[in-house]
Amino acid sequence: MIRTWRQAILLLTLIGVIVTGRSFSDAADYGKASDGVHEKPLPVAKPPSGKPVRLEIYPPEVTLTGPRDEQQLLVTGIWADGSRWDFTRTAQYATESTEILTVSPQGRLQPKRDGITAVIVTASGLSAKIPVIVQQAAADFLVNFTTEIEPILTRFGCNGGGCHGAALGRGGFRLSLYAFDPAFDYEQIVRSNEGRRVVVSDPERSILLAKPALIMEHGGGEKLKVNSREYLRVLRWLEDGAPPPSPSDPRVLKIEVYPPSRVMTPGEQQQLAVTAFWSDGRREDVTLLTQFDALNDSVASVSATGLVTAKSAGETHVMARFSGQAVVAQFTLPYARIAEYPSIPAKNFIDEKLIAKWKDLGILPSPLCRDEEFFRRLHLDAIGVLPTPYDIRTFLADTDPNKRDKAIDAVLSRPEFVDWWTLKWGDLLRISKTALQDKGMWSFHNWVRSQIRDQIPVDEFVRRIVTAEGSTFTDGPANFYNIGRNADDYAETASQVFLGIRVQCAKCHSHPFEKWTQADYYGMSAFFVRLGKKSSSEFGLFGQESVVYLRPTGEARHPRTGATVKPRPFDGPEMDDEFDRRQKLAEWITAPDNPYFARNIVNRFWGYLMGRGLVEPLDDLRATNPASNPDLLDALAADFVAHKFDLKHLLRQIFRSRAYQLSSVITPGNEADGANTHFARYTVKRLTAEQLADAIDFATGTQEKYDGVPLGTRAIQLPDTSYNSYLMDTFGRPARQVVCECERTSKPNIAQALHLLNGDFLNKKIAHPQGRIEQLLKQSKSVKDIVEELYLVTISRPPSPDEAAKAIGWISSAPSQKEGLQDLLWVLLNSKEFLFIH
């Protein structure tokens, strides 16, 4: 065995130059910190050459209703080849009747008096005209607190978590977070603090105006400029007598952003326009009251008024939020302009969707990986274990052009498939004896195994869990309800695990980045509120068995209003059942047309196989966290539904795709990080903790003994993650305590390196008296054959001639053949090719 660091470095230099130096991109940069880079000045973007063929005005016609209604126009030049350019800030605007309408140099329309007119827009030598109707311009509409004042407070951050929307408020003044409770906010503004914040008789003396305008000292700085549009709106509300909100006030049903997507070049700008659709039928431009955020500021930034500036190649989204609703607009800056994109074969619809995206971004995919890489990758991703030397040799010798498809079918039929995917579902469902006791844990684990073994469709699998009841010792899925404590816990878990919706924020206030409200949260909780648990002595007085049962009554209450909240799923109608409300919920969750369920499942399993999800994090599906390829996510979900939620079909489709079989090596045309985001090369993944434990046992020919289970039980077969293993804990095994994919981690740390490089753990396994090296030596094989065997059981390929020569040379110079072979196995087990799926 290696006895000094000098020997280790020498051996890694001699042999590891090839073994560990293989250029698969992500592993090469694994854990490397990025250097700080100063942002380069943006280039000056120019419109496409030539003249546009027409101007497109958004919206094509305008109706302004009321004295305060406004509309932002967007002016886009369109060229013959489909190129677009935003002329909004450089166009000239004129109105046919200045008595009816005013138009600002930036294209903002404001009413003056009722009538019909038109706005003429001129840009790049072209003109366009749009009709405008103005009505009720002189109507004396009181300023509405809910629909006009609250959006101003939100737009300027007054009710944000870092200001007066914090749990304890700020400076003695507290508002509801992001205006989710207008009645509370009104009381705080008008009536609390002895009414000193509002002076209706002299509105300009009101603290509500004076502080944010810095007429009085304000810790939050200047928020409202004196006589600005927003300042005058609050002033008018005060002059109207500060009318209170009403339960009948209209609410926003949805918002739309225009344009929804753009392809741009660095330095180019695009103005956004946001339209709100109210429950009273109104359509209103709310661009100036919208909060804008760029999800990747290095690709494109956005101003407070919705002006997007393209910066560098890539793809990002700009999030627009208004009155509890949120949408995103997509911005694409191609990495290259490829005039004649090469023809790339597509194995299935997955490749078709990805190739279309690669074309848009100017990305070229890596070539297909080698057969030995594919075979190792397939085994680890499909069943969690390494292939045997016999299977590797057989596969490599096969000349059938369809051998990869045959290998996929063969691997999916292996018994280890059940072990591996039971482990993955165990993480999601948090199967743990810490929460469930030994009997409950085994009951739940064995039930999940039986479902996967019997190939129960995922929708039926989930329905059985959601509607489970009975003894936690004899009815496995009933343990799902023994992990949480109450209806709120069950609602949060079911939402995140089965729908990919993180709704926890909405328990106390409206979700800050999504449309979910407290009513949505407690509507889900209402499905579980009649669920009860009781102790049973069926397994003895101290058996600690729980029985999950249904109570005949019970309702969810809104914590703010105290009103009864009827059971209602996200974006669904109210639904109830006289016997078990969960039956209706289970039907809704797994319905073929549910927009969340199938997308959540396919995104998770895509992420498991491809190294990252189409949506990241895997369990955070929302409008403001869009997929990198929405068309592919939708297509995968539709195919999953069409094939009756068959998990093996989903996996087979992904495995057979060209995208899954691409090399992980960076090649010309996909050097950028975005190539990895869009799957133009395979994403390198570190072996999971369980995969690594089993792979080390397999390579060294040893068997780790885990307490309480028979010798020979693999790590991927363990029913719980609490079985003692320093190796697995060090390499990110989850504790199964939280409902989050993030609990399992692949982040590197120094303990991992020290445990493998310098610990006794690996050395003892390599030198085990009944281990692989001892057995190989007893078989009187040649050194060349043994070297090949060691390569096959670790990195699943034969050594190259150069690698074989260096390995044999090292072994011959070692104090003994055994020590030389042990050194070689140590190097292989510490190589990137072994530690990563590539």
Q: What is the pLDDT of residues 243-286, one digit of tens each?
A: 999 999 999 999 999 999 999 999 999 999 999 999 999 999 99
HSE at residue 685, side-chain half, CA atoms within 13 A, is 23
SS (H, E, C) 468-503: CCEECCCCHHHHHHHHCCCHHHHHHHHHHHHHCCCC
Q: Report the distance separating Cα 542 and Cα 740, nearest Å.
A: 32
Predicted confidence at residue 674, as pLDDT, reads 75
Predicted confidence at residue 13, as pLDDT, reads 56
Among the candidates 217, 239, 261, a domain finishes at 239
Q: Report the distance separating Cα 741 and Cα 724, nearest Å.
A: 22
Q: Report the distance separating Cα 367 and Cα 374, nearest Å.
A: 12
Query: pTM here?
Result: 0.90
Q: What is the pLDDT of residues 553-582, one digit of tens each?
A: 999 998 888 899 999 999 889 999 888 999
Residue 568 sits in the same domain as residue 422: yes
| Whether the Cβ atoms of residue 690 and residue 715 lie closer than 8 Å to each other | yes
Strands (DSSP E) contained in 415-560 are 470-471, 531-536, 545-550, 556-557
Residue 450 sits in the same domain as residue 570: yes
DSSP classification of residue 189: I
Q: Determine, yes or no, domain membership for 738.
A: no
Q: What is the pLDDT of residues 9-50, one digit of tens each?
A: 545 555 543 443 344 544 434 333 334 445 567 888 889 999
Query: Would you call 310 helix, strand, or coil by DSSP?
Result: strand
Q: Determine, yes or no, domain membership for 606.
A: no
Can you read off the two tokens belonging to residue 598? 């199938």
Q: Determine, yes or no, domain membership for 394.
A: no
Residue 196 sits in the same domain as residue 214: yes
Residue 422 sits in the same domain as residue 566: yes
Residue 830 sits in the same domain as residue 696: yes
Predicted confidence at residue 97, as pLDDT, reads 93
Q: Report the distance separating Cα 504 and Cα 131, nearest Å.
A: 46
Among the candidates 135, 167, 185, a domain finishes at 135
Q: Determine, yes or no, domain membership for 364.
A: no
Q: Determine, yes or no, domain membership for 82.
A: yes
Task: Return the residue matching tokens 């989710």.
Answer: 180
Q: Determine, yes or no, domain membership for 465.
A: yes
Above 80 in pLDDT, residue 228? yes
Residue 192 sits in the same domain as residue 216: yes
Burial of 263 (0-12, 13-18, 19+ CB in 10 A): middle
Q: Report the distance separating Cα 772 and Cα 397, nearest Å.
A: 25
- What is the mean predicted confidence (pLDDT) over 706-712? 94
Structural domains in the chain (count): 5
Residue 791 sits in the same domain as residue 716: yes
Query: Would you call 130 helix, strand, or coil by DSSP?
Result: strand
Predicted confidence at residue 602, as pLDDT, reads 98
Predicted confidence at residue 22, as pLDDT, reads 45
Q: Report the distance separating Cα 9 and Cα 757, nearest Å.
A: 11
Residue 80 sits in the same domain as residue 16: no
Predicted confidence at residue 26, as pLDDT, reads 44
Predicted confidence at residue 12, as pLDDT, reads 56
| Whether the Cβ atoms of residue 464 and residue 454 lie closer than 8 Å to each other | no
Question: How much is the mean pLDDT over the chain?
Answer: 91
CATH number of the domain encompassing residue 311: 2.60.40.1080
Burial of 796 (0-12, 13-18, 19+ CB in 10 A): buried
Above 90 in pLDDT, residue 642? yes
- What is the mean predicted confidence (pLDDT) over 434-446? 94
Residue 762 sits in the same domain as residue 835: yes
113 Cβ partners below 8 Å, 6+ apart?
99, 100, 134, 137, 138
Above 80 in pLDDT, residue 193? no
Residue 441 sits in the same domain as residue 583: yes
Residue 229 sits in the same domain as residue 325: no
| Whether the Cβ atoms of residue 271 and residue 306 lie closer than 8 Å to each other | yes
Q: Report the distance separating Cα 113 and Cα 123, nearest Å.
A: 28
Q: Determine, yes or no, domain membership for 73.
A: yes
Strand bridging mode 126-135 / 62-65: parallel
- What is the mean predicted confidence (pLDDT) over 685-695? 96
Predicted confidence at residue 746, as pLDDT, reads 83
In this prediction, residue 764 has a pLDDT band, given cuts at 50, 70 and 90, of: very high
Helices (H) and strands (E) in the chain, counts: 31, 27
The residue among 308, 327, 317, 321 whose CA lies nearest residue 266 is 308
The residue among 513, 503, 660 whose CA lies nearest residue 596 is 503
Phi-psi domain of 314 (left: phi exceeds 0; alpha: psi -120 through 50; beta: other): left
Q: What is the pLDDT of residues 479-526, one digit of tens each?
A: 999 998 899 999 999 999 999 999 888 787 766 667 788 889 999 999
Residue 832 sits in the same domain as residue 696: yes
Predicted confidence at residue 4, as pLDDT, reads 53
- Domain range holding 528? 417-589
Can you read off the two tokens belonging to residue 485? 């404590």
H or E element in which residue 186 lies? helix 182-186
- What is the mean predicted confidence (pLDDT) over 770-791? 94
Among the candidates 589, 612, 643, a domain finishes at 589
Q: Report the distance separating Cα 664 and Cα 679, nearest Å.
A: 10
Q: Determine, yes or no, domain membership for 476.
A: yes
Q: Report the distance separating Cα 600 and Cα 597, nearest Å.
A: 5
Predicted confidence at residue 23, as pLDDT, reads 45
Which of 210-228 are b and which e, b meaning 16 or more Cβ less than 10 Å from the residue's Cβ?
bbbbeeeebebeebbeeee
